[in-house]
Structure 1
Amino acid sequence: MKFIIDAQLPRKLVFLFRNAGHDAIHTLDLPQKNTTPDIEIIDIAEQQQRVVVTKDADFVETFILTQRPAKLVVIATGNISNFELEKILIPVLPAIIAALEVNSYLEVTRQALIIHA
């Protein structure tokens, strides 16, 4: 599976996804880096069939209104250290991948993986 990690999340997540066997890029890898507008991130995600991984609520609003991007994972942990974020994501990553096979919008909290239908 292919992912694009948004600016509010650490670049280190790219390596977490890659180490799990997935293709991942960060907005820092894009020409405009972390200033890339959301609509361009969505366009890139759709052109390259990437899942957008973000903390940005604007992506949720866009998804609800337009069903774009096609696949969205929202990290809803609030302020959290990179170490704590990795501790949450590593064990739930297989479930995220499985859920994305049939679902378009997931939310990761400190306690659960929420699948929005």
Structure 2
Amino acid sequence: MKFLIDAHISPLLCEILKQKGYNTKHVGELLIGTLTPDNIIMGFADEESRVMVTKDYDFYYAHVMYKKPSKLLLITTGNTRNRILFDLIRNNLALIESLFESYDFLELSADGVVIR
């Protein structure tokens, strides 16, 4: 499984996922970094078959309306400390990976993973 981490999420999440063996990029690594427009970010995610990981509802609306990005993990924990967010992702990573085999949109909240 491959991930693309949005600009509003710490690049440290990339390192955590890479340590777990996942091919992960942060939007900051793209050609114009965090200034990259959403449509180019979504195109990159889809071209490389990456799950878009974001807190940004613009990606939610694009996914619901246009199926872009084609796979979306929307984080709805609000303003939470990185450590708490990273633990939540670590604790749910196996479930997230297995659910993305059948579904294209998951939400990760403080309560866990929800299929959308």
TM band (smaller chain): over 0.9
Q: Distance in 2 between matches of 1:102 and 1:21?
A: 21
The CA RMSD over aligned residues, in Å, is 0.7
Q: By how many angstroms is 1:35 displaced?
A: 1.0
Q: Deviation of residue 18 (structure 1)? A: 1.2
Aligned residue number for residue 76 of structure 1: 76
Alignment of 1:31-110 (within 5 A): 31-110=31-110
Give the residue type in structure 2 aligned to 1:11. P
* TM-score (normalizing by structure 1): 0.96
- What is the identity percentage for the equivalent residue pairs of Structure 1 and Structure 2? 33
Cα distance in 2, alignment partners of residues 33 and 68 from structure 1: 20
Q: Which stretches in structure 1 are left out of the alignment for 5+ residues?
A: none
Q: Which runs of 4+ in 1 moved over 3 A?
A: none
Question: CA-to-partner distance for each residue in 1:11-66, whole Å, 9 max, x for gaps?
Answer: 01101211221100001111111111110011001111111000000000001100
Cross-structure match for 1:16: 16
- Offset from partner CA, 1:60-96 (integer Å, 9 cap, x none): 0001100111100001000011111112111101100
Amino acid at match of 2:51: V
d(CA) in 1 for partners of 2:43 and 2:75? Answer: 20
Offset of 1:109 from its aligned partner?
A: 0.2
TM-score by length of 2: 0.97
Aligned residues: 116
